[in-house]
Amino acid sequence: MTDLLNVKDLSVFYGARAQAVEKVSFNVSPREVVALLGANGAGKTSTMKALVGLVKASGDIIFDGQPISGLSTRERVARGIVYVPEGREIVGSLTVRENLVLGGYQLSGALRKSRMETALELFPEIANKVDRAAWQLSGGEQQMLAIGRGLMAGPKLLLLDEPSLGLAPLLVKRVFDRLATIRTESDLSIVLVEQNLQMTMRLADRIYFLRSGRIVGQKHKQELQTEAARQQVIDAYLGAGQHLVA
């Protein structure tokens, strides 16, 4: 199958010496969920930002059959790559509805309306709060709004940066349940950045393990079905058992 995304030798530097990502190569098939898993500072966010053109990077990125390394962030979004950043960067002073509109500002009125309906169906928790300022939402609801806003653009590839960050376990589960629905009901691909192996395994088809800016291993979901296999990858790639949070 032709890849939707093919990344070859991607490197990210911050300044002349600080290399955050070193020659990372990976691919994502249509409808596939691929996770980048690694501890703090492993280079996950930098990789995501490089894909959408938010940091300077070297290497080749082929998306939907075309090289995109030379394109601006705006052009990459227009091609169908949408980034939902870590920390749920929604606009707190705007309402839920206004935040969603921002995600689909380029759309015609009718398409925007139907996408908004789809997003709110997916996240009923925010559907009855559309006129409320976004800062008033709970952390989990803000995460849902951030994902809903990303979906407004109608992405082919959704880049999700630590959707579990700062959420209580019950909310993490709820957010991941919705992501599972998105993946069943739409034909988009997802690159998921996470530190939470347990949740990642519920969603991802394949997992790449990052350490110190490099990919140090790769596993297919089927290879991680037993507790022993999961413990082995934790020991080999992730270090402390802190990642096995439910």
Binding site for ligand ATP (CB under 6 A): 14, 18, 20, 38, 40-46, 195
Minimum CB separation of residue 20 from ligand ATP in Å reads: 3
Minimum CB separation of residue 34 from ligand ATP in Å reads: 15
Minimum CB separation of residue 118 from ligand ATP in Å reads: 29
Minimum CB separation of residue 206 from ligand ATP in Å reads: 18
As a whole number of angstroms, the distance between CA 190 and CA 194 comes to 12
Minimum CB separation of residue 132 from ligand ATP in Å reads: 29
Minimum CB separation of residue 137 from ligand ATP in Å reads: 22
Is the CB of 20 or the CB of 233 nearer to ligand ATP?
20
Is the CB of 123 or the CB of 176 nearer to ligand ATP?
176
Three-state secondary structure of 63-126: ECCEECCCCCHHHHHHHCEEEECCCCCCCCCCEHHHHHHHHCCCCCHHHHHHHHHHHHHHCHHH
As a whole number of angstroms, the distance between CA 172 and CA 242 comes to 16
Is the CB of 43 or the CB of 148 nearer to ligand ATP?
43
Is the CB of 164 or the CB of 195 nearer to ligand ATP?
195
Neighbours of 178 (CB within 10 A): 19
Is the CB of 47 or the CB of 189 nearer to ligand ATP?
47
Is the CB of 154 or the CB of 217 nearer to ligand ATP?
217
